[in-house]
Structure 1
Amino acid sequence: MIEISDIYDIALIKSDAYKDINPLKTEVNETKVGSEVIALGSPNGLENTASVGYLTGVGRDIRSKFIYEKAYQVDVQIENGSSGGPLIDAKTGKVIGINSLLLEKNRRIGFSIPLYTMTYLLDEWIKNPMNDRQVASVFGVYDDYGTSNSYNNDSYHSDSSQDDVDEYEGDVYFYEGWLQEFILEFRTVYEEALYNENFSQIEQFLLPGSSAYREFADYFDEISGEGMHFEFIENIVTEVTIYDDYALVSTYETFNFRNRAGNEKYYVKEKNYEVVIHTDGTYRIRDVSNR
């Protein structure tokens, strides 16, 4: 095992048994709707099954146990056991995605994680692989490790303050891969919160009493009822710098903004997110600044 994520439904495994086998080529750009595709997998335990169909949709953002961003929608037959298998462009022979989800109400609709959206994360994992302890800590699988998820933001305590930083006594620490995923998850939830004009959706990512908390709260008050529309295009982590008691996560972000009058503008932002460890053992954003 090299890396595993509890945010995205992917893991990266190194196998010496396949080191002399040439891998399939991968597609680094988005595949067009209407492309003929082949899904490989083991549906219901039937190994080496190939299912042919079409890519019927792109850009599907789905939140369930995991986050699926810009997912491909396909009409190939995907069943239990198909997950993790490659989705291949029938024309080019390149792997374009990882088969992952089946729509239970309509089992002819499946979803695949586009490889082009995960390239940055996989490359980072290869450069900075986890050790056994770190892998186990992601899901708390082994009790004797005594670790907990480094950015589990399921609990939010409104009576916390900025003074609560750096007093957590568990085994949470700053890890580059987790910090990257934390900020990317924040950006995904932030877009949804802007659409709903609901600040509470991002509170669990922010350190109460901090400048980031106040600035985001004020911004949501400012845009409430203004009919603004945001479309995030790129959210890329460009650098992670870890200090003794905080970390800086640098990003490159692009988005379209449209006001109520229909006027649209394209923005490019480069930002630094200052992340700290809260007393409850979660990552929290303390400050956000432009670079």
Structure 2
Amino acid sequence: MSENMEQKCQRFQKALDIFIERVEKDKWIQAVVLIGEISPQTIWSKEHLFLWVIEVDGVTKRRKSDGGDERLFRTYTEEDINIVIELIPRTRFKLMVEGNSRTAFTHNFFAKRILVHSKDSSIDRWFQQAHQLATSDQETSLMIATTWVIQPLKYIDQLIHTKKDIELARQELLGVAHSLAAIEIILRGEVYEHQPIYKAIDYNPQLFATVYQEILGRQRSMTKLKKALQAVREYLEQNHQHYLRPIIKFYQNKPHIVPLSQICDSFAHTQIYPWHIVCVCEWLCNKGFLEKISLPIRITKKSITDVEEPAYQVNK
């Protein structure tokens, strides 16, 4: 007999409680953070619990399977429920809070984080500080989500105009619709852990009727794909100055040519990766806001020959 959502919640909560009871006795474990809430609204899609386990520095024994990755994951089980944990040394957790590690709180805007166990008042304070930043840093999150929309557009164009592949273009466009949904949620400062697409339909029904519901429907056509793609482009055109504000503000204060490496270094303490920056800069070049040139750079500090690096300046 299948269980209902309340029963599933109870089973997951029991597994979490047992795990916490065990680690409370472990002097090397400083805190545990639950990623994602346990509720009837979210539990339907969960097959495991995901936790951050903050440990004393230098106590984890690395495995061959960890390789050289900074992030360490382990899987345990309670009540026949798998518990996936990321082991985070205390020092690195502090760096996450300060924005010096890219495993930071803003990396997943749609997961609630709950401190379910702590033996360290400093961790309590850091967690509260980081949690407030994660839910308020809309500019960074908006720009990241916007790059998720911009990046696939050329590929979808090629699928439509070169390959004439309606089905694959449709699949890619549905992915873009989910990224647009992320933007709509972030705009409102929400941490919405359910399927964002459903909430976004309520917020912007006209847009999502075109880019999601019509594309998902049974009657598929090239005309609908082109209409949806045009709606995405118009949406970006109307809103890009707001959504891409971090890069636009950066260039408004830089009247000279700026190499890509310098731009990336300027955003090193955020969740904006270099590929996000390249994506935005190339798009702004296409819109005429930026001009792209190149500057010489050496690949290593011992190199004696130059290669060319992208560089950008405001188009006057």
The alignment's TM-score, normalised by the length of structure 1, stands at: 0.25
User: Which structure is larger by alpha-carbon Rg, 1 or 2?
Assistant: 2
Q: Which has the higher helix share?
A: 2
Q: Which has the higher strand share?
A: 1
The alignment's TM-score, normalised by the length of structure 2, stands at: 0.24
